[in-house]
Structure 1
Amino acid sequence: MRSSEEIEAVWRTFDHHPMETLTKAWWMTQAPKGMRQRSVTMMESHRKSLGTSGNCYDLTLWLLYALQEAGVEAEPVGHGWFTSRAHAAVLAKDRVGAEWLCDLGDQWIQPVPVDAEHEAFPRKPTAGLFPGASVSLSRNGNALTVCYHRHGGKKSDQTYNLCPVDRDTFSRACAWSQDHLKKRPLLEIRIPWEKETALWEWDGNKAVLSTSRGLVRLDSPSTATHWPKQIHDVAGIDPQVVTKALEVYDRIRKTG
């Protein structure tokens, strides 16, 4: 399964961009007064100099810009705007009018068609689209439900609202997200593992590898001071950025 050459070419440029909330915490200590959501220019500059990436809002904004620069029609979609459960992604349209879900925030391996009549629409569990799981899709109007089939028969699902959100609402949702941190950081990045693409996941305490064989518990540093180097080694983020971000999260946990 492959989307159009134009969509695929842009998507591949984000292959090594993790979804992470460390940069959001770090940016809270760096942002000029009144500025919350980083511009695409800033994100590109930070990526080049510091190896940073961003959360699902950052990645959606970034991908939207890159697709439109390539002449691809694209709009933001998601669910739960202005809540802690929110998630953002991109709906891109190829030259023949087929729509593709492009979700960097959840670290999909590649875009997936959302039209139930499309020949590549994965009605049955399909491997190679999402790290560590096969996925099957079903659609009811603008609701696209993704079922994740994991090792051992475990299943979970997520539903996207494919009705594009207007850019003003999306911009305000981005700013809202940048003002709100959960108590623990999160980082997810696709990495090669044996003969598949796995997901390296870190929640501030431990790192695990999500694979088709289930979760693989990884050796964790004995102290939190070791995480900046390990995260740099895996995801490329400057250790000083990670250290500053962890200080922010530590203050949040202590203040409740």
Structure 2
Amino acid sequence: MCCFSGNVTFVRGTRIFSRITEGGRQAVVYQMEFGAKQELAMILPLPVAKGADEKAVKFIDLSGYKDLFRDLRSGFPFPRAVSRGRDEPLAAAAGGLLEVKQVGAYEASFVPTVKDFTRLDPRFRLPAETWQALPAYADHGFAVFKLRAGEQEVHPMAFTFPTRHPETLFFPTVHIHDGKVHPEEDFDHDLYCQVARTGLFAMTRWQESERLASAFTKPENAEQLIVGDAHVYRRSLVGKMKNEDIILATA
């Protein structure tokens, strides 16, 4: 889900990598280009395991591997575009302000529940009515990245979280760019993933790399989020589409 706490002038070139890692955790790497006239936050709702606390998300600094997605794209010399398938105020949460971590060029926080947004700087929240329009995220946690004003390509944002659905991969692709939830949005996304099992029916909509990831990426620079001796899958989403997240079954 690409949600912004303020208005953006544009968002393009969104790239997301996802993989299930050890201990029932999911890794997400996210990069995009955007423009904004003032500082704001990008908010990514996550299907965290129930009971996850504010220490549950591990943020990973990939500022030293800004070209990760360019490398991933180089593993797919023949592009193939694929269309996709499928009023109460917040109560104050207990506890003090949420921890803020410096992760490369960003300040990042994990918000365990919707109510915990009251523990975050007001500039980096979405209006309560936005979450009321998205009841499916009522029990999610939220990774929050604070972004500077201006036009820029952000370096990859990365983290792992304990997922409640280790048999699926979650891609946060729902759009909120103006504080409102629209039924359809314009997509400009490249999705990448690695899965433990190949030959899955769901992967027929994805393009498989011809080579192992180590042939066109640098796993050692990606903090081992990429498995070097496995293939990578890619799916491109371009055009007007239903405004929803992508969930890929892997089992």
**Same fold per superposition (TM over 0.5):** no
Indicate the structure with greater strand content: 2
Give the structure-2-normalised TM-score. 0.30
Greater helix fraction, Structure 1 or Structure 2: 1
